[in-house]
Amino acid sequence: MRLGFFLREALGSLRRNWVMTMAAVITVFISTVILGSVLVMGENLDRGATSLENRVMIEVFIKDDATPQEQKAFQQKVLAMSQVKEVNFVSKEEALDRFRETVGDYITKNLATNPLPASFEVYVKDADQVDAVAALFYDEPIVSHTPGTQDGVQYAAKTVRRMLRTIDLIRWGMWGATALFAAAAILLISTTVRLSIFARRREVEIMRLVGATNWFIRWPFVIEGFAAGLIGAIIGALSVYLVNWAVADWLKNSVDYLDAYVYPLWWQGDTWPLGLLPTLALLGGVLGAAGGLVALRRYLRT
């Protein structure tokens, strides 16, 4: 019986103060869109970072006079290193084929001999260890260096690390923006509820005088904030999912080397957070209820 009373009071207040209710819904919508974007982009950034780390490769060029036995012994030595995940041998012929695919036949067809050396592609387990692993190859007698240099061992670790740092900065920036909009949502919802309380302040005072508990007075306003937050969050979750799906579909059909992850709407397995809709709906409802509680603190002080 009390639940029905609380719901009627909350829904009636939402209708009477529909302008402020819409403002609260829009604020929660913006907040949840940002959080949903953080979840979607965070997942794609994590996958992109993992892909970059998996591509951190050290290219070790081999002298032309190295025998097959020396090459095999070197490969086994590298594979035995605990920091190394994978080693691939690229012969002189395969190196020339790759070069031909990159620049075309108009350059390679005039070559009298194959100037490209054989090499080993060494993939490390941890991108942060690439400098230490590369240093292990500098003094190997099988490695082909230009005199006075260490150019027989090459890798693009600095570029990869710079990209990973950029990804981290983007991720933290998005979480910061989400926190700011969440705080704004709580404040605006609390303002909405406070206006509703002001309009019914005499009713609240009478309820207190006849012995109503603080929570009996509080529940309709908490439900009011919860409802406004829930509506905004549901709209936000559906909007983020549709945009995510549209962008992923466009990339799939338009760009060969990019593939976006579509964040599940309902469920993504046994991990937290859940899909976009339950996660953002829960967040929106909590933000709304928190706004209602904040608004009532002043009026229910004893």
Provide the Cα torsion 108, 114, 115, 121; round to 10°: 100
**Per-residue pLDDT at 61:** 93
Angle 262-264-267 from CA coordinates, rounded to 5°: 160
In a domain, 239, yes or no: yes
How many whole angstroms separate alpha carbon 244 and alpha carbon 71? 48
Which residues lie below 8 Å from residue 285, measured CB to CB, with a gap of 6+? 226, 229, 230, 233
Instruction: Verify that 40 and 182 share a domain, yes or no.
Output: yes
Instruction: Verify that 285 and 177 share a domain, yes or no.
Output: yes
Instruction: Verify that 205 and 233 share a domain, yes or no.
Output: yes
Last residue of a domain, one of 155, 175, 199: 155
Instruction: Verify that 66 and 208 share a domain, yes or no.
Output: no
In a domain, 302, yes or no: no
Instruction: Verify that 207 and 264 share a domain, yes or no.
Output: yes
Which residues lie below 8 Å from residue 287, measured CB to CB, with a gap of 6+? 28, 31, 182, 185, 186, 189, 229, 233
In a domain, 14, yes or no: yes
Last residue of a domain, one of 98, 133, 155: 155
Per-residue confidence in pLDDT tens, the chain, 302 aa: 466 655 666 566 666 666 667 777 887 788 788 778 877 887 777 777 777 777 788 999 999 888 989 999 999 999 999 989 999 999 988 988 888 887 777 767 777 788 888 999 999 888 778 888 988 999 899 998 888 788 889 887 677 677 778 777 877 877 787 777 777 767 766 676 666 666 666 766 777 777 767 667 677 777 777 888 888 889 989 999 999 888 888 877 776 556 778 888 887 666 666 788 888 888 888 877 777 777 666 656 54
CB 222 within 8 A of CB 292: yes
Last residue of a domain, one of 155, 173, 207: 155
Instruction: Verify that 174 and 238 share a domain, yes or no.
Output: yes
**Per-residue pLDDT at 59:** 92
Instruction: Verify that 70 and 33 share a domain, yes or no.
Output: no
Task: Write out the DSSP string of 58-77.
Answer: EEEEB-TT--HHHHHHHHHH
Instruction: Verify that 108 and 210 share a domain, yes or no.
Output: no
Instruction: Verify that 149 and 194 share a domain, yes or no.
Output: no
In a domain, 7, yes or no: yes
Structural domain of 147: 57-155
Nearest alpha carbon to residue 73 among 132, 155, 140: 140
Judged on CB neighbours under 10 Å (0-12, 13-18, 19+), 177 is middle
**Per-residue pLDDT at 302:** 47
CA 162, 163, 166, 167 dihedral sign is negative
CATH number of the structural domain spanning residue 78: 3.30.70.3040
- The DSSP element (H or E) to which 104 belongs, if any, is none
Instruction: Verify that 204 and 169 share a domain, yes or no.
Output: yes
Task: Write out the DSSP string of 132-188.
Answer: HHHHTTTT-TTB---TTS-TTEE--HHHHHHHHHHHHHHHHHHHHHHHHHHHHHHHH
Number of domains in the chain: 2
Structure tokens at 300: 């229910």
In a domain, 187, yes or no: yes
In a domain, 83, yes or no: yes
CB 292 within 8 A of CB 190: yes
**Per-residue pLDDT at 229:** 82
Cα–Cα distances (Å) from 294 to 182, 184, 222, 229, 282, in that order, read 14, 13, 9, 14, 18
> In the chain, what is the straight-line distance between the N-terminal and C-terminal CA atoms, in Å?
28
What's the whole-model pTM score? 0.60
**Per-residue pLDDT at 1:** 45
Nearest alpha carbon to residue 226 among 13, 36, 2, 16: 13
How many whole angstroms separate alpha carbon 267 and alpha carbon 273? 9
Instruction: Verify that 168 and 275 share a domain, yes or no.
Output: yes
How many whole angstroms separate alpha carbon 142 and alpha carbon 195? 79
Instruction: Verify that 11 and 67 share a domain, yes or no.
Output: no
In a domain, 301, yes or no: no
